[in-house]
Each structure stands twice: as C-alpha cells, then as structure tokens.
Amino acid sequence: MTSIKDFNTTLSFAKTRDDAYISAMKDYKEDVTQQIHFHKQFLKLSREECYKISADRDVRIENIGVVKKVLQQNNGLEQELQRNTTDIVLELKQKQMKKKMIIQKIEKLNEQANSKELMKSQYKENKDRLKNLHHIRVFSQDQLQMELRTINDGKFQFVFRELGPDNNSPFVITMGIRNRLYQIVSCEPSIECLPDLERRLQETNNLAVFLSNVRLQFVSRARGM
C-alpha cells in the first residue's frame, strides 16, 4: 500500500480531489444555472398568467359594470313601460266610461224622442177618438136612440133604450181603451157574437159600425124576450 506521506501520491490525491470538486462545482453550477433558467421561465410564465388573469378580471369587472348598467336601464325601461301601460289602461277605462255615458245619453234622448212621438201619436189618437165619440154622440142621439155616458177610469157606456114595443129596459155596453185598442168591459144583457164584434172593431176601429151591429143584436134580444 502506498504511503500517504508519499509526495506524488499526495499530489495525485489532491489533483483527483480538485478535479472532482471542479467537476462537482461545474455540475452544480450547470444545475443551478438550469434551475435559475427554469425558475425565470416559471416566473415569466407565472407573471404572464397573472397579467392574463388580471386582464380577464378587468374585462369581467367591466362586463359586470356593463351588465349592471344594462339591467338598470332595463329596470328603468320596465318601470316606464309599466307606468305607460297603467296610464293607457286608465285612459281606456275613462274613454269606455265616457262612451258608456254617451251611449246612455243617446239612449235616453231616443227614449225621450220615442216618448214624445208616442205622446203625439196617443194625443192624436185620443183626439181622433174624442172627435169620433162626438160624432157617435150626435149620431146615436139621432139615429140609434142611444145615450153616451162617461164613467171613471176612462171608461164609457152606451145605453140603448126603447128597443122593443113592450121593452123599455136599458141595454148597456161598457167599453174602454187599452193598449190603444177598444175593448169591451161588460155587456148587459150579454150578446153571443160579442167577441166577434169586438175583434172586428179592433181591426177596423170603426166604432159607429160596431154600435150599429150591437144595437141590432140588442133589438133581436129585446124582441125575443
């Protein structure tokens, strides 16, 4: 075994040691350099990623602000639309009420006009009837030997006398006007064909002919008694 005290051996060991140290330091330096490079690359990538995340965050924040602004505008538009809709509905209701009131006024005016026309028509008919009754009164006194009496509730009686040589009993027919038509209220004594005579009177409105036919029936009845 070579002695450690051998100078050549010591130099050789020292050289080997130095070479190993230099080689190790070289490898370490390369490794450290590579690690530093990787670390720089990582920091660069991390920084870029952070920038990107920050930029995305700014974009997102800006978009959120835009969305909030749009929502606020939409809320404002919705509220305005709701107010406008309420105003329109209220205006429509008011117009419908006015229309209803106008229709009611028109209907009332029509009713008044129809009522006036009806009153005029009834007045004319009543006037014609009164005139007709006046003619009947004159005619009845001269030709039919009949008396005209006016009683309550707008009714009137026709009283026939001296219908037979031996019969002086009065024969009375009571009449009125209903629904603008002559109607028989009572007849003493009764006449069998009286409904037919009443129907023809309502069709023709000829009271003189009706009374003439009634008198004929009364005469026939008086002579048969």
Instruction: Say what the pLDDT of residue 197 is.
Output: 95
**Helix, strand or coil, per DSSP, at residue 157:** strand
Domains in the chain, please, with CATH?
145-224 (3.30.457.50)
Q: Measuring CA to CA, how many Å separate 70 from each of 59, 80, 82, 99, 181?
A: 16, 15, 18, 42, 80
**Contact of 200 with 210, CB cutoff 8 Å:** yes
What is the pTM assigned to this prediction?
A: 0.43
**C-alpha dihedral, 118 to 119 to 121 to 125, nearest 10°:** 130
Please, what are the averages of pLDDT over each run of 10 residues along the chain (225 residues)? 61 76 75 76 77 80 82 81 86 86 82 69 59 58 73 86 76 90 92 93 90 90 75
